[in-house]
A and B are shown apart, each in its own frame.
Chain A
Amino acid sequence: MSCQTIYPFVAIVGQEQMKLSLYLNLINPTLSGVLIRGEKGTAKSTAVRALADILPKIEVVKDCPFQLAPGDGLELCRECFHTGCRERRIAGHHVEAVHRHIKVVELPVGATEDRVVGTMDLEHAIRKGEKRIEPGLLAAAHRGILYVDEVNLLDDHVVDVLLDAAAMGVSTIEREGISFSHPSRFVLVGTMNPEEGELRPQLLDRFGLSVRVEGIADRESRVAVMERRVAFDESPEGFTRQWESASQTLVERIEAARQRYPQVTIDREELFTIADFCLDVGVDGHRGDIIMLKAAKTLAAFDNRTAVEQADIETAAELALPHRMRRQPLMEIGDNVKKIQDKRR
């Protein structure tokens, strides 16, 4: 992590939906990410970067370029070029593991395919006769969060490899005569400004949830935004300290929800509600249903309950469905949200 102080997540004013969707993904990574749509200057990127201080922790083999857990299999290590821990692990010795926050890996819009997937030093290989692989961002993002700013401007073939990895949980480096695979399961967080073009439907579908952010209309909140920003800019450390206990509470709440999630149950009746929702609004495929179900359960866990309630399902619908609905003529995804909200009333 950088030594620069990051604006504390809890100090972000408003944007409750966006915050909620990020919490849900931290609690349950199988929700497979969130797409944040909105205008410029609505704390989209700030929020994602600020996640760093509320992230849960995982156990990782020290210095492992593929973020493996100590209990993971050895298939990858046999081919790994990273000699530090390879021999020890293969020989069955104990390797040092660290307990660290999960990482937010940022994928810049201009990233080339080899930077994303990883590459192999061919020249080294033919001159020295050995493989040397440079893992890409997809390796770094395994078990963490992959953040794509302006995801709608991403190069098409980068989108393709991203989709491949997201679908299979495996990323493959394919170069002349070399194939190297490593696990790559990540929470995909994207931000975009819809004015600059839409996403391809496939990519859209890969995001579990989507939220729309807008500038806050309420005067008080706008003032609060300004005040907090100024306070932060004047004294980042002091400001962060001020919010420390709030951050801590949130971290604990997320951790508690992670523990509780497996116990959350849902009635059969409520499954019908979900199915009806999806049928009514017309979504493609079944991913919408499944994500809605998971989101509703995660919401219940976050709310310290072990049973899903009607309200959870409605909130889940708002998060999981708008970007999956077949779009009507001249209708934007934003209108879909309205339709879902109308349905709630």
Chain B
Amino acid sequence: MISRGHHHFPFPAIVGQEELKLSLLLNAVNPRCCGVLIRGEKGTAKSTAVRALAALLPDIETIQGCLFALAPEEAGERCAVCRLCDRRGGVVRQRVRVITLPLNATEDRVAGGIDFEKTTAKGERVIMPGLLAAAHRGILYVDEVNLLDDHLVDVILAAVASGENRIEREGVSFGHPTACILVGTMNPEEGDLRPQLLDRFGLCVEVKAETDREMRVATMEQREAFDADPVGFVARCAAESSTLAERINSARHCLPRVQISGRQRTLISELCTEARVAGHRADLIIEQAARALAAFSERLEVEDGDILRVAPLALRHRLRDQAPPPPPPKEQEHEHAHHDPPETDNEQEEEQQDNAPEESPPPPGSPPEQEQDSTGNDGGMPDASETPTGPVNPDALEKVFEVGATFKVKPFAANKDRVFRRGSGRRSRSRINGLQGRYVQSVFPRGTRDVALDATLRAAAPYQRQRRSDCAIAIRPEDIREKIRERRIGNFLLFVVDASGSMGARGRMTATKGAIMSLLLDAYQKRDKVAMISFNKQEARLNLPPTSSIDMAARLLAELPVGGRTPLNAGLVKADEILRGQLVRDPTSRPIVVLITDGRSNVALGGGKPMDECLELARRLAREERLRFILVDTEEQGLIRFGLAAKIAEALNARYFQTADLKADTLLDLVKE
């Protein structure tokens, strides 16, 4: 990393954010607090605090030239196998480093891999340490950890939790210690972390802006003073900084001697039981954090107050009797999201990856509508539907229903195939044209210039005797192999919504709108493109042309009026038209059609029976292999059911859901892809 020649904003000068500061200090004193996850708003001194913390930590001693920042006492046998430095370096002191993980980092940069520049020059395997090595005994800062590719998060958390990073890839097998303070930040609006990843972070703080005028002014003054004269500002805080640094240092020394009584351990376990947390990690973390706090307060015995002070930090993100912590500023209740995250079994991991992000509350700009209405009339009927809209007069007045409660939807994705795509997102796995994503296999060059080093070297290896070259390994163009990468990308979702009068009966549209909104929120977090068709009276309309603006879709949905007959057939024809356009524009795309209806098609386009025509249209649509269909049946669960929607689903070869089954936590889980 390049030193910016800047002075860092000093830690004691940060105004407010006491929880954030406390959790960082606890980690500084006791690394076994297992890192901090910072959730919350933008612009709340998150990264400033992390960088400032580094400046407070005592310098570390390391072997000169060691790329793994090993302490002299750690060196021993590790040095014997490592050939990266000449091992003649003395011991030097260096500042604690903050390693920032860029979002575009590849797996081998994070974990380490082959240094092929040296490998080809020297003709022997030279290891290139990754960012995890650089972060040893320092701070690893992952901004927007929820946006990082899942496999990278796995690698990082596994390494930090076990304290050792093992490189087992591209023919390298190597391990090195990674004891670092892990700090992740995330904005829950952008999607959440999987529960088992959340659990790996020891502490969790929620940050938000100060609401106190004095504090806000103080923040501005400090910042302005710092910008005007960084050197002077840092100098003015020097005394305070060094006091704090000494306190951390002495706390570290007395930490091993801090005692915790059996009664207090019981207290901790009671707190955890009460919060119904999964597993035992919370207990251990609370104990470690409480000891750190006692040491920091210059005591050798843990007090109950310490435990109560740190418990919220350790429990917040592990609570199970309610949705994982909603972000602080959203004051509305979240009773509908009260679905426990499914148990974290290994078999369920695949689904988990998909589920996890949806627990977060709505994205910011999108659909505040649903917040509005969920204040009172969740199950009940909105004011608009006081008089039931029976299908007596089919073209009667149209009504607008409010958007019902939202929930976390079940994961669904397009089928995997072998087509290369561009793009990003997090819905369906696809092979990817581009340099991000996971390296899954190597092939002869396709022109991507994304060279797969290991495969290239293997291809060149047999011919080394015959070839002569300046480099230790002679590589010819015909040896070059390229990588195939895989990652998740967003899809195109076409919503086809039944807005006929029958949908309006007894507030069903409110619940249906809630379901659609849930799908839209899911689409936002998976970065899908959406379009929306609605049909009622005599025709189908394209309400929303394909767009990535989920806000727009949410707004339209809230305003969507209901009433009139059910021209489902026209809706299908319209959908076909849009889909054909989409497939011409992007032949590799895999659109997913979400049809929301009760299936009572009663307007024919030609002369035949509406229902027969509808099934015929559905069968024709289903012939396009690139399409996938999801049908959400909104027919009421009553004695008399027509089951028409199910027939249509069969004709479309669609996955069939009733509104209630869409919820991610229902037992009826999805069919494995």
Query: A: which residues have CB within 8 A of B?
Result: 30, 72-73, 75-76, 112-114, 117, 119, 121-123, 125-131, 155-157, 160-161, 163-164, 167-170, 172, 174-179, 181-183, 196-198, 200-202, 205, 262, 266, 268, 271-272, 274-276, 278-279, 283-290, 293, 326-330
Identify which of residues 94-130 in chain B touch chain A, using a CB-to-CB cut-off of 8 Å: 100, 102-106, 108-109, 113-117, 120-121, 128
**What 0/1 readout, one digit per residue, does chain B (495-506) give for beta carbons within 8 Å of chain A?**
000000000000
Chain B: minimal CB distance from A306 (Å)? 14
Query: What residues of B have a CB within 8 angstroms of the CB of A293 in the complex?
Result: 220, 223-224
**Is B147 positioned at the interface, with any CB of A under 8 Å from its CB?**
yes
Chain B: minimal CB distance from A187 (Å)? 16
Query: B: which residues have CB within 8 A of A?
Result: 1-5, 41-45, 47, 100, 102-106, 108-109, 113-117, 120-121, 128, 131, 143-144, 147, 187, 189-190, 208-211, 213, 216-217, 219-221, 223-224, 227-228, 329, 363-365, 368-369, 371-372, 422-425, 434-436, 449-451, 453, 456-457, 470-471, 475-477, 480, 527, 547-549, 551-552, 555, 558
Q: Could you say which of B47, B106, B211, B422 contacts A176, with CB atoms under 8 Å apart?
A: B106
Q: Could you say which of A73, A129, A262 contacts B120, with CB atoms under 8 Å apart?
A: A129
* 20 intermolecular pairs with C-beta atoms under 8 Å apart: A30-B227, A122-B449, A126-B120, A155-B424, A156-B424, A156-B425, A170-B4, A175-B435, A176-B453, A181-B2, A196-B549, A201-B42, A262-B228, A268-B217, A275-B220, A276-B213, A290-B219, A293-B220, A329-B368, A329-B372
Known: A30-B227, A205-B42. A157 touches B480 (CB 8 A): no
Chain B: minimal CB distance from A266 (Å)? 8
Q: Could you say which of A183, A201, A284 contacts B365, with CB atoms under 8 Å apart?
A: A201
Q: Are A198 and B104 in contact (CB under 8 A)?
A: no
Chain B: minimal CB distance from A123 (Å)? 6
15 more contacts with CB within 8 A, not counting A172-B105, A262-B228, A328-B368, are: A75-B2, A127-B120, A160-B144, A176-B451, A176-B453, A201-B190, A275-B217, A276-B213, A284-B209, A289-B219, A290-B220, A290-B224, A329-B372, A330-B368, A330-B558
Q: Could you say which of A167, A175, A181 has the most chain B C-beta atoms within 10 Å of its C-beta?
A: A175
Give CA–CA (A176, B434) in the complex, Å: 14
Chain A: minimal CB distance from B523 (Å)? 12
Chain A: minimal CB distance from B243 (Å)? 26
Q: Could you say which of B103, B213, B548 contacts A275, with CB atoms under 8 Å apart?
A: B213
Give CA–CA (A174, B436) in the complex, Å: 10
Known: A114-B435, A326-B329. A73 touches B104 (CB 8 A): no
Q: Are A73 and B5 in contact (CB under 8 A)?
A: yes
Chain B: minimal CB distance from A250 (Å)? 26
Query: What residues of B have a CB within 8 angstroms of the CB of A196 in the complex?
Result: 547, 549
Known: A155-B423, A170-B1, A176-B113. A123 touches B549 (CB 8 A): no
Chain A: minimal CB distance from B562 (Å)? 19
Q: Are A286 and B45 in contact (CB under 8 A)?
A: yes
Query: What residues of B have a CB within 8 angstroms of the CB of A327 in the complex?
Result: 364-365, 368
CB nearest to B372 among chain A residues: A329
Chain B: minimal CB distance from A288 (Å)? 7
Give CA–CA (A52, B128) in the complex, Å: 43
Q: Are A73 and B425 in contact (CB under 8 A)?
A: no
Give CA–CA (A123, B209) in the complex, Å: 49
Q: Are A197 and B219 in contact (CB under 8 A)?
A: no
Give CA–CA (A161, B117) in the complex, Å: 26
Q: Are A202 and B547 in contact (CB under 8 A)?
A: no
* Closest 4 A/B residue pairs (Cβ): A285-B43, A287-B43, A197-B549, A275-B216
Query: What residues of A have a CB within 8 angstroms of the CB of B209 in the complex?
Result: 283-286
Q: Are B103 and A284 in contact (CB under 8 A)?
A: no
Query: What residues of B have a CB within 8 angstroms of the CB of A202 in the complex?
Result: 42, 144, 187, 190
Q: Could you say which of A121, A157, A198 has the most chain B C-beta atoms within 10 Å of its C-beta?
A: A157
Chain B: minimal CB distance from A68 (Å)? 11
Q: Could you say which of B220, B425, B434 has the most chain A C-beta atoms within 10 Å of its C-beta?
A: B220
Q: Are B43 and A286 in contact (CB under 8 A)?
A: yes
CB nearest to A330 among chain B residues: B555
Give CA–CA (A271, B534) in the complex, Å: 51
Q: Are A274 and B120 in contact (CB under 8 A)?
A: no
Describe B's contact surface by its main secondary structure. Answer: loop
Query: What residues of B have a CB within 8 angstroms of the CB of A167 in the complex?
Result: 47, 143
Q: Are A174 and B211 in contact (CB under 8 A)?
A: no
Query: What residues of A have a CB within 8 angstroms of the CB of B103 in the complex?
Result: 157, 160-161, 163-164
Q: Could you say which of A114, A167, A271, A327 has the most chain B C-beta atoms within 10 Å of its C-beta?
A: A271
Known: A176-B116, A177-B116, A286-B210. A200 touches B190 (CB 8 A): yes
Give CA–CA (A284, B423) in the complex, Å: 30
Give CA–CA (A129, B472) in the complex, Å: 9
CB nearest to A290 among chain B residues: B223
Q: Are B42 and A126 in contact (CB under 8 A)?
A: no
Query: What residues of A have a CB within 8 angstroms of the CB of B2 in the complex?
Result: 73, 75-76, 170, 181-183
Q: Are B43 and A284 in contact (CB under 8 A)?
A: yes
Query: What residues of A have a CB within 8 angstroms of the CB of B131 in the complex?
Result: 179
Q: Are A197 and B425 in contact (CB under 8 A)?
A: no
Query: What residues of A have a CB within 8 angstroms of the CB of B210 in the complex?
Result: 286
Query: What residues of A have a CB within 8 angstroms of the CB of B147 in the complex?
Result: 160
Q: Are A198 and B365 in contact (CB under 8 A)?
A: yes
Query: What residues of A have a CB within 8 angstroms of the CB of B369 in the complex?
Result: 329-330
Give CA–CA (A129, B460) in the complex, Å: 15
Query: What residues of A have a CB within 8 angstroms of the CB of B217 in the complex?
Result: 268, 271-272, 274-275
Known: A176-B116, A177-B115, A286-B216. A129 touches B551 (CB 8 A): no
Chain A: minimal CB distance from B156 (Å)? 14
Query: What residues of A have a CB within 8 angstroms of the CB of B45 in the complex?
Result: 286
Q: Are B219 and A157 in contact (CB under 8 A)?
A: no
Chain B: minimal CB distance from A124 (Å)? 10
Chain A: minimal CB distance from B569 (Å)? 31
Chain A: minimal CB distance from B560 (Å)? 13
Give CA–CA (A72, B189) in the complex, Å: 39
